[in-house]
Amino acid sequence: MGRGKTMAEKILSRASGEDAEAGDLVIAEVDVAMVHDITGPITVQRLEEMGVDRVWDPSRIVVLFDHQVPADSVEAAENHKMMREFVREQGIEHFYDVREGICHQVLPEKGHVRPGDVIVGADSHTCTHGALGAFATGIGSTDMAAVFATGRLWFRVPETYRVELVGEPPEGVYAKDVVLKVTGEVGADGATYMAIEYHGEVVENMSVSDRMCLCNMAIEMGAKTGLVPPDERTLRYVRERAGDEGRPVRPDPDARYETELRLDVSDLDPQVARPSSPDNVVPVHEVEGTAIDQVFIGSCTNGRLNDLRVAAEILKGEEVHDDVRLIVIPASREVYSRALKEGILEVLHDAGALICPPTCGPCLGGHMGVLAEGERCLATSNRNFPGRMGHRESEVYLASPATAAASAIEGEITDPRRYL
């Protein structure tokens, strides 16, 4: 009699047609393949080098521009032009030009993510889509060329790290604080090539966008993907966006986990990751008073509507500190539109924020907020390695949108509970 399976084992078993267990090598059918403006051109070059004339299925490929948007250099403009031509030649059905926003936000919004799917993206934070119960992972551009050619890819079925989140987060503590705490506990390489499966009442009570925040940072622990078992909240979101429920799977009660972490968040403080690693995490009071030059609220981690709402609640009637640049970037055109209609952007603008079009922006050291030598930024993004947002001698701290908003007012890292 076989043992029960984890979510990753079930999804890859279905996609490969094998009875797969952790550690097995399988060749799986891919449901959705995504490239953006940075990784797309390399994928197309590799495809040409392989002598492949036609992609396997133009309806299952998503091409999206989000990193250098709008084009910030001649090189970026040429890349955009090349990808537009590729989309036309291949008849790619799902193409989102410069106006739509960040790939990991746009894909679920537009109904490309369903429970039980295998989703590969030529971007490491593709693991975000595990929030909807998909096996989603980042791959390199050469691997993506193989997917474009065949619709299949080999995987080593990952072991699974079970994270159970219990209790009730106190006021001023958000999904970002929770995942920063988990990252600090697990470590930057503590879940290498594993699937992180999130469980517990905290996760069950989270919105889909907060679950996306949790899964987004799985890669910051070395993981292959993050996964949340789909529930009615998931299925409602997917039905509205994709028109059907996909093939939802949940782990078996007797599934075997490589390792487990149980975390009670009832007395958790707001968390901050210090330079220069996402697992260098401390409670906010340990870094409170650290002067900052810039605050960035956005990215595929925390550029969603709920995040902007939280920031606006704190910034309403307040002013951004004279020594701080506050950059706010909604994660997608839809988020931007809804924040506009709700008056959120007006509140942020009146407080002194620079509001930019939906894009990755400064997160990757791109444009709209690159740091100079010696400058310090508090960001709601997911990485703070040396040189991540500009000069190698700049510093990036990671925190929630609430902590970011409070810090923008004070000009230094600040506990957001003072403003709640």
Find where tokens 């001023």 sit. 172
Q: How confident is the model at residue 1 (pLDDT cuts 50, 70, 90)?
A: very low
Q: How does pLDDT run across 23-35, given as a tens digit for each residue?
A: 999 999 999 999 9
Contact 280, 310 (CB under 8 A): no
Instruction: Please spell the DSSP secondary structure of 88-131, one letter per residue.
Output: HHHT-SEEE-TTSB-HHHHHHHTT---TT-EEEESSGGGGGGGG
Q: What is the pLDDT at residue 74?
A: 96
Query: Would you state the structure tokens that stand for residue 151, as one six-digit string?
Result: 């619709």
316 φ, ψ to 5°? -60, 125
56-60, 295-299, 330-334, 361-365: segment of lowest average pLDDT: 361-365
Q: How confident is the model at residue 2 (pLDDT cuts 50, 70, 90)?
A: low
Q: Which amino acid makes up residue 317?
A: G
Contact 403, 272 (CB under 8 A): yes
Q: Which two tokens stand for residue 117?
A: 């799917």
As a whole number of angstroms, the distance between CA 228 and CA 234 comes to 9
Residue 390's DSSP bridge partners are 371
Tens-place pLDDT, residues 156-203: 999 999 999 999 999 999 999 999 999 999 999 999 999 999 999 999
Provide the b/e sequence for 317-354 (b: ≥16 CB within 10 Å).
Answer: ebebbeebbbbbbbbbbbbbebbeeeebbebbeebbbe
> Within a 13 Å sphere around the CA of 132, how many CA atoms are in the beta-carbon half?
32
Residue entry with tokens 């951004």 = 320
Give, in order, the Cα–Cα distances in Å from 83 to each of 44, 281, 343.
8, 39, 35
Q: What is the mean pLDDT of residues 7-20?
A: 97
Q: Position 187: which residue type?
A: G
Second-level CATH architecture of 272-419: 2-Layer Sandwich (3.30)
CATH node for 7-262: 3.30.499.10
pLDDT per residue as tens digits for the range 58-87:
999 999 999 999 989 999 999 999 999 999
DSSP assignment of 197-235: EEESHHHHTS-HHHHHHHHHGGGGGT-SEEE----HHHH
Which tokens go with 75? 């090189």
- Whether 412 and 419 have beta carbons less than 8 Å apart is answered as no
Return mean pLDDT, the chain.
96
Return the sign of the alpha-carbon dihedral for residues 103, 105, 109, 115: positive
Model pLDDT, residue 115: 98
Q: Do domains 7-262 and 272-419 have the same CATH topology?
A: yes
DSSP 395-412: EEEE--HHHHHHHHHHTB
For residue 400, what are its two tokens?
A: 């929630």
DSSP-derived 3-state class of residue 86? helix
Mean pLDDT on 344-371 = 94
Task: Give the Cα separation of 326 and 297 in Å (integer).
Answer: 8
119 phi-psi bin (left φ>0, alpha ψ -120 to 50, beta other): beta
What is the pLDDT, as a whole number, of residue 287? Answer: 98
Indicate whether 91 pLDDT > 90.
yes
Each domain of the chain, given as residue ranges in start order, spans 7-262, 272-419
Give CA–CA dist 105/305, Å, rounded.
11
Average confidence (pLDDT) over 7-26: 97
Pair of tokens at residue 367: 């444009």
d(CA 271, CA 274): 10
End-to-end CA distance of the chain: 54
How high is the pLDDT of residue 229? 98
Rounded Cα gap, residues 270 and 407, in angstroms: 12
User: Going by C-beta distance under 8 Å and a sequence separation of 6 or more, which residues neighbour residue 246?
Assistant: 114, 115, 116, 117, 133, 134, 238
How wide is the angle at C-alpha 24 spanned by C-alphas 21 and 25, nearest 5°?
A: 140
* Interatomic CA distance for residues 69 and 76, integer angstroms: 9
Tens digit of each residue's pLDDT (9 = 90 or more) over 247-303? 999 999 999 999 999 999 999 999 999 999 999 999 999 999 999 999 999 999 999
Check residue 197 and report its DSSP letter: E
Give the span between the Cα atoms of 31 and 14, in whole angstroms: 12
Q: Round to whole Å and give the CA distance between 294 and 296.
A: 7
